[in-house]
Amino acid sequence: MKKYKSSASRLANLFHKSRDKWKERSAQKQRRVRELEIQVRDLSASRDHWKDKVREAEAARQRAERELAIKEGRRPEGKGKLAVVEREPNRNEDEPEVKEGELLRCGEEASGREEEVDQWEAPHGHRYPLVLIKLAIQLIHTALVGLRGCERSLGLMGPLLGLPAPTFDSGRQWLFRLGLYLLERPPEKRSDWLVILDMTVELGEAKCLVMVGIPQARLARLGAAQSSGEGPPHLALTHRSVEVLGIEVMTHANGERIAAHLETLAERIGAPRQLIADHGSDLKKGIELFQQHHPETIYTYDVTHRMALLFKHHLGKDERYQGFAKHCATTAAKLQQTAQNFLKPPSARSKSRWLNLGQSIDWAQRMLAYRARGDFTEISPAYRLDAATFLQLVSELDEPTYLRLSAQVTWQDYPHQEAFRQALIKGIGPVAFQRYQTELYHAADLGRRLFEQRFGWLNAYRSEIAEYAQLVDLAHLVEKQLKSQGLTPDAPLTFEKLSRHQILTTPRTRQFKQEILDYLTAETQSLPKDSDQPFLATSDVIESLFGKYKLHTAKSPLKEIGKWILVIPLATVEITSQLVKTAMESIRTIDVERWAAKVFGRSALAKRRAALGQSAGHPAESDHPPDEQTGRAELTNYDTKVA
């Protein structure tokens, strides 16, 4: 310090400033080095990404050459990405030509390509391995594990498998990205699409039109594959039998809008050969408008909804049926918190109650059969000797036996029939017991008393229940025929043969059968008479898809149509590693957000937050999209409660 002439305090201040300046320069150099490292990493990733794009383009070129070779009759060379379906050697010349149907896409679902994917590597732009992404999607969608349940499950399995544990929102974003990829994947353009369409609604003004389809040629092959070889083909559709062709969200649904969406669909896949839907006013009008420009398209009324409409027509204003339904509802409410809850009637549905009429009728028939068996031990095995028992026996026993019974047998509850039997033999003697045991058991059976108290009203509807059962049997018969064999020109004749064994005891049941025949005749008139391929007559598969979608949205805070609609396409495919890898590399989280903003706009939950504010301690909602690589979104109190 002696060589410095300045004071020590001034020197200390100077040295402090110099040190801080060098530290800042060092930090700037470190930041610059980090920026260069990130740039190198991004450039390397971009290089690998474009290499993959070149490989995909080369594969697409090979596929195109393979298709061209097949069409020109040459032997294709190389290994293509599509599975070639050979023409059947004995193909009927009258069968409609399917120009675009020679190549059926198996794409990412082909089992042979599964081995080409390294499941322990992360897809491009991701830090989690492919096997973890696929497992999370399958847990949420296939196993129906909740989002937070999936996070906890992977957290438990991660240390065992050597895998990191993603957040619950990462699983949600992966699910949406795969769904959007499947939705935007172009379907095959064919001339034989059979399209099923229906609408679903939640809270709010949005309505969702979903269109799924299956080519008629594939339907015929499916029936042949599922058939046992004897009898007609079995055409029951599963979720994976169909392909999601389009999902359209509308705030104001009318016939013109639906017709416009059908025209757009026809441009993508070709004019459908058949449209299957219910007779909702909007759908019916839209399909009829579409048929004006495409008269070759057949419109078929879904058999399930048609049978429900027939039930409503016959029973909707029937006072006896309304009384039966009211008794069922009242009995179900009374039995909820009792020991006889296991016998309560099926709960009446607020929606589609005519579609589920058979459940109540089947319950009533089973209850009458249970009453006829006379064994009520499941209700109560006890026997009771009291005033009510003696009041019933006074007209059934002779006077000496009645007097001995009242004097010798104790008035009490007996735990089971054997104890009651021993008391009776001791009190009135074996001869009198042998003579009147049926009457004695009947009067003292506590289980029978409880049954008559709760369900005695069923006996007053015995004849009506038998008639309702005949109606249900006829409806189930035609539904089973059309859902398993399809709609064919000889469907009315087939139903007539199948229903010959049905014993119809009332004019209403005979009229019901005639109305079914009229329905079949009307629907088969538009079918081509020379076609040997079946058509569809039911939209049950799309109703089932809606049901699975609503399992995911059941715990939503505000049940509106939103991004969860993307789970519908997932149910129609096999979730393979190749499919997941392609989807994760093709669709970003920002793509899902932009699609949702375009289709739905701001959600009701976002509007609620803006109007009512945030809970204490939680930040305001961010307008920025979630991170594209990790899929982590800004979460609020509402998200964490319902995930």
Same domain, 440 and 491: no
Structure tokens given for 278: 């219910």
Same domain, 367 and 479: yes
Asked if residue 104 belongs to a domain, the reply is: no
Asked if residue 214 belongs to a domain, the reply is: no
Domain containing 76 equals 8-81
DSSP character string of 154-193: HHHHHHHHT-----HHHHHHHHHHHHHHHHHSPPPP-S-E
Same domain, 320 and 436: no
Asked if residue 349 belongs to a domain, the reply is: yes
Q: Residue 510: what pLDDT?
A: 92
Same domain, 355 and 467: yes
Nearest CA-CA partner of 367 in 481, 477, 451: 451
Same domain, 496 and 472: yes
Helix ranges (DSSP H) in 486-539 = 491-498, 507-524
- Residue after which a domain boundary falls, among 524, 543, 564: 524
> CA–CA distance from 557 to each of 68, 350, 482, 619 (Å)?
53, 21, 40, 19
Straight-line distance from the first to the last Cα atom of the chain, in angstroms, rounded to the nearest whole number: 67
Asked if residue 432 belongs to a domain, the reply is: yes
Which H, E and C letters describe 584-603, residue by residue?
HHHCCHHHHHHHHHHHCCCC
Q: What are the residue ranges in the chain where pLDDT is below 70?
A: 1-2, 66-67, 69-116, 223-233, 350-352, 614-643
Q: Can you tell me the distance from the alpha carbon of 76 to that of 68, in angstroms, rounded to the nearest whole number?
A: 8
Length of the chain: 643
Q: Tally helices (H) and strands (E) across the chain.
A: 24, 9
Same domain, 362 and 492: yes
Q: Residue 114: what pLDDT?
A: 47
Same domain, 487 and 515: yes
Q: Can you tell me the distance from the alpha carbon of 104 to that of 92, in angstroms, rounded to the nearest whole number?
A: 20
Q: Residue 448: what pLDDT?
A: 93
Q: By the 8 A CB rule, do 94 and 528 touch?
A: no
Q: By the 8 A CB rule, do 251 and 207 touch?
A: yes
Structure tokens given for 282: 């909007």
- Residue after which a domain boundary falls, among 35, 59, 81: 81
Same domain, 28 and 67: yes
Asked if residue 469 belongs to a domain, the reply is: yes
Q: By the 8 A CB rule, do 104 and 190 touch?
A: no
Same domain, 34 and 58: yes
Same domain, 407 and 511: no
> CA–CA distance from 317 to each of 313, 422, 466, 468, 515 (Å)?
8, 54, 18, 14, 18
Asked if residue 121 belongs to a domain, the reply is: no
Q: Residue 262: what pLDDT?
A: 92
Q: By the 8 A CB rule, do 93 and 563 touch?
A: no
Nearest CA-CA partner of 202 in 458, 510, 563: 563
Q: Can you tell me the distance from the alpha carbon of 403 to that of 340, in angstroms, rounded to the nearest whole number?
A: 35
Same domain, 420 and 473: no
Backbone torsions φ then ψ of 327, nearest 5 degrees: -60, -40
Count of C-beta atoms within a 10 Å radius of residue 626? 21
Q: Can you tell me the distance from the alpha carbon of 459 to that of 448, in angstroms, rounded to the nearest whole number?
A: 14
Q: Can you tell me the distance from the alpha carbon of 574 to that of 358, in angstroms, rounded to the nearest whole number?
A: 34
Same domain, 313 and 355: yes
In 63-204, where do the E strands start and end? 83-84, 103-104, 193-201
Structure tokens given for 607: 């509007």
The amino acid present at 265, given as its one-letter code, is L
The total number of structural domains in the chain stands at 3
Q: Can you tell me the distance from the alpha carbon of 531 to that of 378, in angstroms, rounded to the nearest whole number?
A: 56
Nearest CA-CA partner of 641 in 551, 558, 566: 558
Q: Residue 173: what pLDDT?
A: 92
Q: Residue 625: what pLDDT?
A: 39
- Residue after which a domain boundary falls, among 17, 51, 81: 81
Q: Is residue 553 classed exposed, middle or buried when 0-12, 13-18 and 19+ CB atoms within 10 A define those classes?
A: middle
Asked if residue 362 belongs to a domain, the reply is: yes
**Global pTM value:** 0.72
Which H, E and C letters describe 223-246, residue by residue?
HHHHCCCCCCCCCCCCHHHCEEEE
DSSP state of 318: -
Q: Residue 547: what pLDDT?
A: 87
Structure tokens given for 578: 């190749």
Asked if residue 389 belongs to a domain, the reply is: yes
What SS3 class is residue 328? helix
| Cα dihedral: 113, 114, 119, 123 (round 10) | 40
DSSP character string of 456-492: GGGGGGHHHHHHHHHHHHHHHHHHHHHHHH-B-TTHH
